[in-house]
Structure 1
Amino acid sequence: MIIRYLLFITLVLISCISNDSYAQIDQSAVNDFIRNVAFQQKRPLKEVEAIINQAEYQSDIIEKMSRPAEKTMTWERYRNIFMKQERIEAGVDFWVTNEKVLNDVSTLTGVSIEAILGVIGVETYFGQRMGNYRVLDALYTLAFGYPRRSSFFKAELSKYLELCEKEGLDPLTIKGSYAGAMGYGQFMPSSYLAYAKSYDSESGADLVNQADDAIASVANYLKVHRWEKGGLVAVEVKKSQNAASLAKQKVKPANSVDYYIQKGYEPKETINSSELASLQVMDKEDGSEEYWMTFKNFYVITRYNHSPLYALAVFQLGEAIKSARYPE
């Protein structure tokens, strides 16, 4: 009886392991997707089928999507990932190597060099860490194995195939993040198609291999989302002992600086009191908090990644690189 019970348990476990790899994928949904893409992009059915049939389901991607760092870490832990001396030095090196491109792009778009460097530095360590997953596998896994956002990732998978066809990229070899983002700036396929720019305008935009195109594209993304030339991003705030308790503030600025001052939150820098701002509270490991007054350009950075932690890390990394290159 015990042997039969153990055999049953073993079979159940084997079934669960098998299901972990295959049961999440509805092949009929995959076939429908292939037919739709072939029709919409006017491509041979067999061509699309040949690509999708080589995609592999990656179960660990589902786990990572369910536990993004921005939602599981304190601000202090998150910040410490990026604000390391070696990353700051890598940013200075990247700036020196790409100085002409950065100057040209910043002048053309109005986006600060620090913001461009901050994004690329946080996203991929200046191109050193672009991701270890095949983009095809990541998007396939999420399109057909992550029901909560299936529609979004099916659309991104379709855009990925369109992008590879347009730019002459090999869909089977490009690597990126577990979410399917790629290149220096970790653009999703739809963003790649919408915002990618070629720096020299003489060829397609290659954000995977060409740093100059990546710089132009990151700046273009921020510009299109209404980056304000010379505008503030964030300023640390001192909270007075009798400061009013505030409900969680939206990232988009809605109140004046003066409003927050009257509530007991004093900026550590002199700022126009009529400037629109928001107040972001950042938690530390010891349970204490940091307070940051954030502005329109901070909100623009959150259009790249909606997490306030991300936006503040981009800001601080860019500022640290600038300070390291041009110490006072």
Structure 2
Amino acid sequence: MKKLIITLMLVAFTGTPSFAVPLTDEALAFADRLYSKYGIDPLKTALLIQSADYSDKALSLMDRQFEKSGWGMYRKSMVTDNRSNKGGRFYLEHRPSLELAYAQYGVTPEIIAAILAVETNYGDYKLPHRAVDVLSTLGFYYPRRADYFRSELEALLAYAEKNGMDPFSFMSSYAGAVGIPQFMPSNISKYGIDFGGDNIADLVNSKTDAIGSVGNYLAKFGWQKDKPTAIKLRGTGFDSFLGQGYDPKFTVKELEDAGIIFALPANQEEKVNVIRLQTDKGFEHWAIFSNFRTIMRYNNSANYALAVLLISKNIEEERKRLEAGNTGGS
């Protein structure tokens, strides 16, 4: 009955039942749920969905994410000199926040910076979509993951209502991730923090809050302070260790006993897994540790996690180069 009342009110209010995102039974049930859980006026929610623009772009991109491309192409696009050079300057500019996050959460400062590099070019990339448009479209017209995206739309609207914000003010990726660290809306309240001391966890405008929130997120998902993330491998004997997923299962010693050589020294008792990545010159093999899996909790892609690691190493080198230059070193 409530759905019928909302529909009749909308027709009376707009003069037409033709909507940018049509008000299906699912959409009206969604409005009812937000009223039951958060006290949000169902007519307000229904009008918001009506006002959302249908996003063909979001639908077309969902099944061809760049992270699914080959490692060679992905690395070339993501691990760039520009990100490295800019990352060194970003570190020096935001050193207090990055090093506080390291002290508080144990997350390597360069890893936090590298994630922000990939997500929004250190906060300078202007997100192209309205989150409401994307999440409404995916929540009601992308059957494979509709429940997930409706729950994210719910989180966005609840967050906006609680904080007196306009839901249409949130810009996002094609998947509905918002802010400098590209958090999905449900993660803003779970992991977003006020790191600047102004009593507002502002992930849209505050790079300081973004830094702290990324550190908090990785710590919550098990980041191990000062532990390795991934080490490149060479040698033979890979086949028996491949295809085992991403959670560490073998010891470093087991790999070395099988004839695998680590490019860097590693504690023989540390647990690892092995991944094989395709490049234009053949395969690369990497030993991945628990911290690698933690980065994948941020974005479930081995390409993404390895790009973050390599960018972080480049940021470290650039930061040291800039520091040496500032002190007259060579």
Normalised to the residue count of structure 2, the TM-score between the two structures is 0.88
My pick for the range that moved more, 308-317 or 44-53, is: 44-53
User: Which residue matches 1:52?
Assistant: 49
What is the Cα deviation at residue 265 of structure 1?
1.8
**1:47 match: secondary structure:** helix
Q: Find out whether 1:42 has 2:36 as its counterpart.
A: no
What is the Cα deviation at residue 133 of structure 1?
0.5
Q: Find out whether 1:299 has 2:293 as its counterpart.
A: yes
Map of 1:211-290 to 2, 5 A cutoff? 211-240=207-236, 244-286=239-281, 288-290=282-284
My pick for the range that moved more, 43-52 or 73-82, is: 43-52
What is the Cα deviation at residue 50 of structure 1?
3.0
Residue 253 of structure 1 aligns with an amino acid whose one-letter code is: P
What is the Cα deviation at residue 243 of structure 1?
5.3
Residue 59 of structure 1 aligns with an amino acid whose one-letter code is: D
1:204 & 1:98 partners in 2: Cα distance? 19
1:78 & 1:49 partners in 2: Cα distance? 40
**2:39 match: secondary structure:** coil
1:214 & 1:120 partners in 2: Cα distance? 8
What is the Cα deviation at residue 25 of structure 1?
5.3
User: Which residue matches 2:25?
Assistant: 28
The structure 1 segments of at least 4 consecutive aligned residues displaced by more than 3 Å after TM superposition are 21-26, 242-247
1:103 & 1:182 partners in 2: Cα distance? 24
Residues 261-287 of structure 1: per-residue CA shift (max 9 Å, x gap): 22232101111111101111111024x
User: Which residue matches 1:150?
Assistant: 146
My pick for the range that moved more, 54-63 or 242-251, is: 242-251
Residue 140 of structure 1 aligns with an amino acid whose one-letter code is: S
Q: What is the percent sequence identity of the aligned residues?
A: 31
Aligned-residue CA RMSD in angstroms?
1.9
Q: Decide whether the 8 Å contact of 1:143 with 1:154 is kept in 2.
A: yes
- Name the CA shift for 1:46/1:310 in 2 (closer, same or farther; >3 Å): same
Residue 115 of structure 1 aligns with an amino acid whose one-letter code is: I
What is the Cα deviation at residue 180 of structure 1?
0.2
Q: Find out whether 1:102 has 2:93 as its counterpart.
A: no
User: Which residue matches 1:162?
Assistant: 158
Residue 62 of structure 1 aligns with an amino acid whose one-letter code is: L
Q: Decide whether the 8 Å contact of 1:236 with 1:268 is kept in 2.
A: yes
Q: Find out whether 1:202 has 2:198 as its counterpart.
A: yes
Q: Find out whether 1:133 has 2:100 as its counterpart.
A: no
What is the Cα deviation at residue 90 of structure 1?
1.4
Normalised to the residue count of structure 1, the TM-score between the two structures is 0.88
Unaligned regions of 5+ residues in structure 2, if any? 1-17, 325-330
- Name the CA shift for 1:24/1:162 in 2 (closer, same or farther; >3 Å): closer
1:265 & 1:24 partners in 2: Cα distance? 55
User: Which residue matches 1:79?
Assistant: 75
Residues 196-221 of structure 1: per-residue CA shift (max 9 Å, x gap): 00013432211010000000100000
Q: Decide whether the 8 Å contact of 1:167 with 1:204 is kept in 2.
A: no
2:133 & 2:299 partners in 1: Cα distance? 22
2:37 & 2:239 partners in 1: Cα distance? 55
1:325 & 1:185 partners in 2: Cα distance? 21
Q: Decide whether the 8 Å contact of 1:106 with 1:113 is kept in 2.
A: yes
Residue 308 of structure 1 aligns with an amino acid whose one-letter code is: A
Residues 269-326 of structure 1: per-residue CA shift (max 9 Å, x gap): 111111101111111024x111111111111111111111110011111111001111
Residue 188 of structure 1 aligns with an amino acid whose one-letter code is: M
What is the Cα deviation at residue 40 of structure 1?
1.2
- Name the CA shift for 1:290/1:22 in 2 (closer, same or farther; >3 Å): farther
Residues 15-58 of structure 1: per-residue CA shift (max 9 Å, x gap): xxxxxx98995622111111211221112223223322221111
